[in-house]
Amino acid sequence: MKNVVVIGAGVGGLASAVRMAARGHRVTMLEAGTSVGGKLAEHRDAGHRFDRGPSLFTMPELMEELDRLVPEGPKRPPNFAYRTLDRSTHYFWEGESEPLVAWTDNRKFARDVEARWGAPAKALLRHLGSSRDAFELTRGVFLERSLHDVKTYASAAAWKLLGRVWKLPILGTLHAHNAKQFKEPKLQQLFNRYATYNGSDPYQAPAMMHVIPHLEHGIGTFLPEGGMRSIPLHLEKLANHLGVTIHTECAAERIVHNGQRVTGVNDALGNTHQADLVISNADLHPTYRKLLPDLNAPERILGQERSTSGVIFYWGVRGDHPKLGLHNILFSKDYKAEFQHIRERGTPGPDPTVYINITSKELPQDAPEGCENWFVLMNVQANPDQWTDEAVATLKAQVLDKVERTLGTRPDIVCEQVLRPQDIEGLTGSWKGALYGASSNSATAAFLRHRNQSTQLEGLYFCGGSVHPGGGIPLCLLGAKIVDDLAHAS
User: For residue 30, which phi and psi values (nearest 5 degrees)?
Assistant: -115, 120
pLDDT tens track for 97-130: 899 999 999 999 999 999 999 999 999 999 999 9
Predicted confidence at residue 463, as pLDDT, reads 97
Instruction: Pick the range with the lowest mean pLDDT from 1-10, 144-153, 277-286.
Output: 144-153
Q: What whole-number distance in Å separates Cα of residue 453 and Cα of residue 473?
A: 20
- Residue pair 212/139 in contact (Cβ under 8 Å)? The answer is no
Three-state DSSP class for 113? helix
Rounded Cα–Cα distance for residues 11 and 472 (Å)? 9
Mean pLDDT in the chain?
Answer: 95
- Whole-model pTM: value is 0.96
Of the pLDDT bands very low, low, confident and very high (cuts 50, 70, 90), residue 54 is confident
3-state secondary structure 278-328: EEECCCHHHHHHHHCCCCCCCHHHHCCCECCEEEEEEEEEECCCCCCCCEE
The Cα 248–Cα 45 span in angstroms is 24
Confidence of residue 55 (pLDDT cuts 50, 70, 90): confident
Domain regions of the chain by residue span? 3-82+228-303+449-487, 105-219
Model confidence at 442: pLDDT above 90: no
For residue 490, pLDDT beyond 70: no
Question: H/E/C letters for each residue in the chain?
Answer: CCEEEEECCCHHHHHHHHHHHHCCCEEEEECCCCCCCCCCCEEEECCEEEECCCCCECCCHHHHHHHHCCCCCCCCCCCCCEEECCEEEEEECCCCCCCEEEECCHHHHHHHHHHHHCCCHHHHHHHHHHHHHHHHHHHHHHHCCCCCCHHHHHCHHHHHHHHHHHHCCCCCEHHHHHHHHCCCHHHHHHHHHHHHHHCCCCCCCEHHHHHCHHHHHHHCCEEECCCCCHHHHHHHHHHHHCCCEEECCCCEEEEEECCCEEEEEEECCCCEEECCEEEECCCHHHHHHHHCCCCCCCHHHHCCCECCEEEEEEEEEECCCCCCCCEEEECCCCHHHHHHHHHHHCCCCCCCCEEEECHHHCCHHHCCCCEEEEEEEEEECCCHHHCCHHHHHHHHHHHHHHHHHHHCCCCEEEEEEEECHHHHHHHHCCHHHCCCCECCCCCCHHHHCECCECCCCECEEECCCCECCCCCHHHHHHHHHHHHHHHCCC
> Residue range 158-174: average pLDDT?
91
Instruction: Please state the φ and ψ torsions of residue 262, each to the nearest 5 degrees.
Output: -75, 150
3-82+228-303+449-487 matches 105-219 in fold: no
Q: Say which residues have a Cβ less than 8 Å from residue 67's Cβ, sequence separation at least 6.
A: 79, 80, 238
User: What average pLDDT score do residues 35-48 get?
Assistant: 96
Residue 355: per-residue pLDDT: 98
Instruction: Measure Cα distances from 197 to 162, 308, 463, 465 in Å.
Output: 26, 10, 18, 12
CATH of region 3-82+228-303+449-487, choose from 3.40.50.2300, 3.40.309.10, 3.50.50.60, 1.10.3080.10: 3.50.50.60
Q: Which CATH number fits domain 105-219: 3.30.1540, 1.10.10, 1.10.405, 2.60.120?
A: 1.10.405
Instruction: Give the pLDDT band of residue 321 (cuts 50, 70, 90).
Output: very high
Asked if the model's pLDDT at residue 445 lies above 90, the reply is no
Check whether 378 has a pLDDT greater than 90: yes
Strand partners for 266: 254, 272
**381 vs 255: CA distance, rounded Å:** 31
pLDDT of residue 446: 78
User: Is a pLDDT exceeding 90 seen at residue 309?
Assistant: yes
Please give the distance of CA 318 from its chain centroid, rounded to a whole number.
Answer: 29
User: How much is the average pLDDT of 186-209?
Assistant: 96
